[in-house]
Amino acid sequence: MKKGRVYIVGAGPGDPGLITVKGLECLAAADVVVYDRLADERLLSKARPDAELVYCGKSSEGHVLEQDEINVLCVVRAREGKDVVRLKGGDPFVFGRGGEEAEALAEAGIPFEVVPGVTSATAVPAYAGIPVTQRGLSSSVAVITGHEDPSKGESMVDWERLSRGAGTLVILMGVHNIAQIVEQLVRHGRPPQTPIALIRWGTLPRQETLVGTLADIVEKTASAGFGPPAVAVIGEVVRLRERLRWFDNQPLFGKKVLVTRSRKQASALSALLARHGAEPVELPTIEIEKVEYALEKVLPDLSKYQWVIFTSANAPEVFFNILLARNLDTRALGSTRICAIGPATAEAVERHGLKVDLVPREYVSEGILESLGAERISGASFLLPRAEEARDTLPKGLRKLGATVDEIPLYKTVPPRKYPNSALKMLLQGEVDIVTFTSSSTVHNLATLLGNRPDALTESCIACIGPVTEAAARGLGIRVDVVASEHTIQGLVNALVERFTLNKEVSHG
């Protein structure tokens, strides 16, 4: 039997984008993933669908698996011939007990590799706007564990030398012992007015930073109820934070934003929101269900159409997949011209190797009619492969201009069979700051899901991708606060950024 291999992989400090390329490659190939509490669970979506996922989270409150049990689990799975990724927060060899796990594997004769990760010791201060070294302020840095009690006689940390021996001290896992740590530092010569920053949930949208001095940080920590997981940075470099902040002063920072798109499409919007500091909360309210039979009757004569119009990014995906399933490809369209309602739809078409001939200035059906009006389309033949429940504005308008129109339902949007309970709970408990709607279907389905709790939306900012979606929301009595002027996902995010940038300027004015 093939002997498996164990990859001890650093997942980085929290932001899933900080995992290394090699770490992702190992994760995508693994048979088993054994992951920690501080490894972002969004990374698990990169694992194979059939991979075994084992949570072994450890915290000060308790352990799901003890360290010896984790070691045994990795050895057993490798002996079964499976490749195991041991996914650890930060860097596995920087206070991550990765060395202990490597020793256990070596003793058992299990081949292993270590894939270093971005350590929280440098990344978390960076996300708070604090460089751990800076010319003129600090030319040395020491990384220290704060998990042991520094007041006990057998402490392995030489606080006397460290207090004055390094320009910057970075202490990991030290919030519980902050009073004892401060006492040791001051006792051994660190001035009480030395700046200190505690950074909680670093690199994530819920990041919190508490700044003080050694003289007052213990009191501030108690008053704020500031708990783990946190990194402490001690030294003059902390004074740079106000000038170098870049992450936690973004317009959408810390805002919980509900994403109601289908599960497949949600990631694009979530990624854009996260780029501006938001915390996306995915609650898919629609699923795309193919309606293949209607296209069958026109497949043999696709080239007879002068125009094919795609009015959503879903339509070209379903359309061309059906062609391929019937042993056809884009050549079946002949010289047919293609219109896409907006840039996202055009991009979906172009992924299949076709050039889009027309994208209207306004990304709505009315915009298509206005653009085509100049084309003298009287007598032209149009194919509209689209959603079963689409508005009739476009086909009616085309016929009024003298065109022949075949409407083909390609798919329908239906409510998902299951909803993420955690996201729905957050919405019902009033913990969501912004609700985004990207189609009329997302509006109707979320309203149906809420049932007798329409009040769940009253405290959130409601943002719609365009006027059609806005009309659907207002028709259900939902207040709308933001409507994107460019009716795209990027336009929706831009509108939210503009809204909350103005809010910050007003509040600071």
List all residues 6 or more positions away from 46 whose beta carbon is below 8 Å from its beta carbon.
Answer: 24, 27, 28
- Residue 487: burial class (beta carbons within 10 Å; 0-12, 13-18, 19+): buried
**Tokens in use for 407?**
């409407």
Residue of 307, 488, 298, 487 whose CA lies nearest to 395: 307
Check if 173 is active-site. Answer: yes
Which of 15, 40, 91, 173 is the catalytic position? 173
Helix%, strand%, coil% for the chain, nearest 5 = 40, 20, 40
CA end-to-end span of the chain: 70
Residue 333, CA distances (Å) to 304, 306, 434 in order: 8, 9, 42
Check if 426 is active-site. Answer: no
Query: Rounded distance, CA 491 to CA 495, Å?
Result: 6
Check if 36 is active-site. Answer: yes
**Tokens in use for 158?**
């030489």
Number of residues assigned to the chain: 509
List all residues 6 or more positions away from 16 whose beta carbon is below 8 Å from its beta carbon.
Answer: 40, 42, 43
Taking each helix axis as running N to C, give the angle between helix 67-79 and helix 98-107, from 0 to 180 degrees, rounded to the nearest 10.
Answer: 40
Query: Rounded distance, CA 440 to CA 261, Å?
Result: 11
Query: Rounded distance, CA 469 to CA 122, Å?
Result: 44
- 3-state DSSP of 395-421: HHHHHHCCCEEEEEEEEEEECCCCCCH
Which of 46, 58, 290, 412 is the catalytic position? 58
Which of 15, 31, 36, 433 is the catalytic position? 36
CA atoms 19, 21, 22, 26: torsion sign: positive
List all residues 6 or more positions away from 508 whose beta carbon is below 8 Å from its beta carbon.
Answer: none
Residue of 365, 246, 255 whose CA lies nearest to 309: 365
Query: Rounded distance, CA 126 to CA 416, Å?
Result: 40
Residue 296, CA distances (Å) to 256, 299, 381, 382, 407 in order: 44, 5, 18, 16, 13
Residue of 9, 240, 205, 279 whose CA lies nearest to 125: 240
32, 83 contact by CB (below 8 A): yes
DSSP SS3 for 209: strand
Residue of 267, 308, 506 whose CA lies nearest to 407: 308
Alpha helix (H) ranges present in 241-288? 241-244, 263-275
In the block, which residue shows the tokens 């032209």? 380
Report the catalytic residues. Answer: 36, 58, 173
